[in-house]
Amino acid sequence: MARGNLSWEAVKDVVTGEAAYRMRHPGVEFQKACVTNQHFNATAVMHAEFNRVELYDQAKVAALLKQYPVTMLDVERFLYTEWEDVNA
Q: How far apart, in whole angstroms, are the C-alpha atoms of residue 20 and residue 87?
A: 37
Domain edges within the chain: 5-87
pLDDT at res. 81: 77
How confident is the chain (88 residues) per 10-residue block, as mean pLDDT?
A: 77 95 94 95 97 96 95 90 60
Q: Note if the pTM is more than 0.85.
A: no
| Integer Cα distance of 25 and 30 in angstroms | 10
